[in-house]
Amino acid sequence: MPSTIDSQEAENTYAITTCHEQMGNGECRFRLRKNDGTAYVRTEMNQTGAWGESHYHNSLPIAISMD
């Protein structure tokens, strides 16, 4: 049976953190980040909708700010 991993354990044991933002246009970005610079981002827009371009990065710069 699966067990729950809380945010503190995710950060301390697996070096994974979250960062969520709401942009000026109402778009919400939900990030799940690893300390190696990789991340998963879910973007949601309000009821009026918006167009976005799905993409990925083959490589990332070594120095990434995690602020």
User: Number of structural domains, the chain?
Assistant: 1
Residue 51 in any domain: the answer is no
Q: In 3D, which of 23, 27, 61, 31 has the Cα closest to residue 45? A: 27
pTM of the shown model:
0.63
**Residue 33 in contact with residue 18, Cβ under 8 Å?**
yes
For residue 59, what pLDDT is reported? Answer: 62
**Residue 21 in contact with residue 29, Cβ under 8 Å?**
yes
Q: Which residue has the tokens 């980040």?
A: 33
For residue 67, what pLDDT is reported? Answer: 53
Residues linked to residue 29 through DSSP beta bridges, in sequence order: 21, 43
Residue 40 in any domain: the answer is yes
Domain span at residue 37?
7-44
Ranges in the chain, pLDDT < 50: 64
**Residue 29 in contact with residue 42, Cβ under 8 Å?**
yes
Residue 50 in any domain: the answer is no
